[in-house]
Amino acid sequence: MYTSKTLYFEKGGREHSQAALSAMKERAEAMDPAPEAIVVTSTTGDTALKAAQAFKGTGRRIIAVPFQKHLWAAYAGLNPEHRAACAELGVEFLPDEPRVPLVDEERPDIVNAWRVVSQGFKVALQAASMCVDTGLVEDGAVSAPELVPPAAMTTAPSSTRPVSTHMDAACSATLNPWLTTRHAL
């Protein structure tokens, strides 16, 4: 049995990142087994930098999932200063190659089902999938507290060494069954 804290914010936004990361760190320290890595979605690198600072000295890998370069024209790219600061703290970034298609390109039906839960839930699943597809995270090793408006943060235990995922504002999902299913599709 475990006890989990839930955070609720009136609306999502960057102003909640520190509180969410603090709660994630507290939960990660209580998990057995402890997460080996923290996965954060980070368009500009700001959230990745905050996560690296929050988890500094814990021995956990920080994996940042920005948009890959081929999508920067449509969305946004990493801030070079954030990326340099992240590199100094050992943050690993999703590589630009191989190009990892967004799951909505492959299976819009699945993505629309995730979106019914919340946009943030969808993004957490996509980020975890991209980390598995590029080999940054082992298939089946993901547990994902992720930040979405209105945010609530919980985590669930995993049978393998879990990896936690964070976004911009917190809902949760244990992704082991989904990852196994997705890679069988």
pLDDT digits (tens, 9 = 90+) for 70-109: 777 777 788 999 999 999 999 999 887 777 766 666 777 8
Q: How many CB atoms lie within 10 A of CB 101?
A: 13
For 134, the domain range is 7-174
- Give me the pLDDT at residue 172, please: 33
- Give me the pLDDT at residue 2, please: 63
**117 closest CA partner among 56, 178, 164, 60:** 178
**82 closest CA partner among 107, 62, 108:** 62
CATH of the domain at 170: 3.40.1380.20
Q: Residues of the chain with pLDDT > 70: what percent?
A: 68
Q: 160, 140 in Cβ contact below 8 A?
A: yes
Q: Which residue has the higher pLDDT, 9 or 168?
A: 9
Cα–Cα distance for residue pair 104/137, rounded to 1 Å: 20
Report yes or no on 19 lying in a domain.
Answer: yes
0.85 surpassed by pTM: no
Cα–Cα distance for residue pair 117/10, rounded to 1 Å: 18
- What is the overall mean pLDDT for the chain? 72
- Give me the pLDDT at residue 87, please: 96
Report yes or no on 180 lying in a domain.
Answer: no
Report yes or no on 45 lying in a domain.
Answer: yes
Structure-token match 């990142």, residue found: 17
Provide the domain count of the chain. Answer: 1
Burial-class residue 108 by CB neighbours within 10 Å (0-12, 13-18, 19+).
exposed
